[in-house]
Amino acid sequence: MDILHPNFLRQVRAARSLLGWSQKQLAEQSGSSLSTLNRFERGDGNPNVNSLRLIYKAFERSGITFINGPDGSVGVLLSAEGLSRTENSLTAMAE
């Protein structure tokens, strides 16, 4: 876990996109405040390490893996199980 990686913000945005989560949904899943997430994603201020851990753990529970390669590459990976849960959730919302 490298929540202090300079590209963690980009990874958070990518992970939210993969899961189809709004900032509000991430706040609910992580226990962070919506205002903290909003400021973080705008690049305003620095959230405390505990808030970053909560965000990371919420994504981890949802099947996201944060990738920080030795060559400087960064990304996020959604596990097959996480993808299945996401698809099931979207199907249930559509019904």
- Residue 94: its pLDDT value, please? 66
- Helix pair 8-19, 34-42: axis angle to 10 deg: 120
Helix axes 34-42, 23-30, angle to 10 degrees: 120
Q: Determine the Cα–Cα distance for residues 53 and 55; give it in Å rounded to an integer.
A: 5
Let me know: does 23 contact 16? Beta carbons within 8 Å: yes
CATH topology of domain 8-94: 434 Repressor (Amino-terminal Domain) (1.10.260)
pLDDT at 1 over 60: no
pLDDT tens sequence across 15-30 = 999 999 999 999 999 9
Q: Which residue has the higher pLDDT, 83 or 10?
A: 10
Return d(Cα 15, Cα 11) in angstroms, integer: 6
Give the pLDDT mean for 48-54.
91
Rounded mean pLDDT of 44-61?
91
What residue spans define the domains of the chain? 8-94
Model pLDDT for residues 75-91, shown as the tens digit of each residue = 999 999 888 877 766 56
